[in-house]
Amino acid sequence: MPVESILKNGAVYITFDEPPVNALSSRALNELKNHLAEAAQNDAARSIVLQSRGRTFCAGASFDELIRLENMAEAVEFFNGFGRVINQMRKAPKPVIVRIQGKTVGGGNGLAAAGDLVLATDQAAFKLSELSLGIGPYVISPAIRRRGGAALLHRMAWQPWRWFSAFDMQKAGMVDHVFESTGAMDDYIDEATGRFAGYDARALAEWKETLWADARSWDELLPEMASKSALLLLRRPVKEHLQRLKK
């Protein structure tokens, strides 16, 4: 299964795994949204940890699936998958901790930006590659702008060839803490989830709602952004370019 959940230390740990580089398919995105929705309603948990297996945190969208998409309805539905995950993260009435152990590309940055506490190792690196593919980071842009600011979104989007370090992202506000190893990061997560487990559920939920009040329009905004991505993707030159990159 691409996604699985376990309850540990008063937190739901949600792990996605799409080898070899965690490029997410529509199936994985839908499962991720469902697991997040279930975790949000789990009264035994006070927090959620979003993580992945492998050396790469998330390589964005599945190239194979992008190439296969043939019509507007399918393409919009695919890009909406990222929007639904982001919206589910922001609506969860408890803090979502995002654990980043490696490279994060494209849509993976949207998952990071939707976290309430974003942790990364010093080996993590971040890139928005969409313009180099002939599309744009539309669906994830509101989350990145909100978390890291317009300046970071500009720098990343206009330099799709450039990797940004975990320290670059920490300076911009996209990452909260940078660790020397995954072990140190996991120790911190254990401490954080343990502390959250002792906090009042209503206090966490109401503070989360307050912090995210500026994003209430995203239920309508992110599907609009998905349509923009779909229109660009379905053009013949873009499809041919993706085919060449895959080969």
pLDDT per residue as tens digits for the range 32-49:
999 999 999 999 999 999
Rounded average pLDDT over 21-40: 97
Per-residue burial over 153-177, b = 16 or more CB atoms within 10 Å of its CB, e = otherwise: bebbbeebeeebbbebbbebebbbe
| Rounded distance between C-alpha atoms, residue 195 and residue 10, angstroms | 9
Tally Cβ neighbours within 10 Å of residue 92.
24
Q: Which two tokens stand for residue 239?
A: 């499809």
For position 246, what pLDDT does the model report?
Answer: 81
**Domain residue spans of the chain:** 3-181
Concatenate the DSSP letters of all residues of 169-218 into one string: HHHHTS-SEEESSHHHHHHHHHHHHHHHHTS-HHHHHHHHHHHTGGGTTH
Spatial neighbors of 166 by CB under 8 A, at least 6 apart, are 100, 120, 121, 122, 123, 124, 125, 126, 175, 178
For position 245, what pLDDT does the model report?
Answer: 87
pTM, 2 dp: 0.96
Residue that wins the pLDDT comparison between 193 and 245: 193
Statement: 3-181 belongs to CATH 2.40.160.20: no
Checking if the pLDDT of 178 tops 90, the result is yes
Dihedral of alpha carbons 42, 30, 109, 3, sign? positive
Give, in degrees to the nearest 5, the angle at Cα 236 between 234 and 238: 75
Could you give the maximum distance between any two Cα atoms of the chain, in Å? 54
Rounded average pLDDT over 94-103: 98
Q: What is the pLDDT of residues 205-226, one digit of tens each?
A: 999 999 999 999 999 999 999 9
Specify the pairing of strand 103-105 against strand 125-127.
parallel
Residue that wins the pLDDT comparison between 11 and 1: 11
Checking if the pLDDT of 1 tops 70, the result is no
| Rounded distance between C-alpha atoms, residue 208 and residue 40, angstroms | 12
For position 168, what pLDDT does the model report?
Answer: 98
Question: At which residue do the structure tokens 């940078």 appear?
Answer: 178
| Rounded distance between C-alpha atoms, residue 165 and residue 98, angstroms | 16
Checking if the pLDDT of 200 tops 90, the result is yes
Q: What is the pLDDT of residues 144-166, one digit of tens each?
A: 999 999 999 999 999 999 999 99
Checking if the pLDDT of 247 tops 90, the result is no
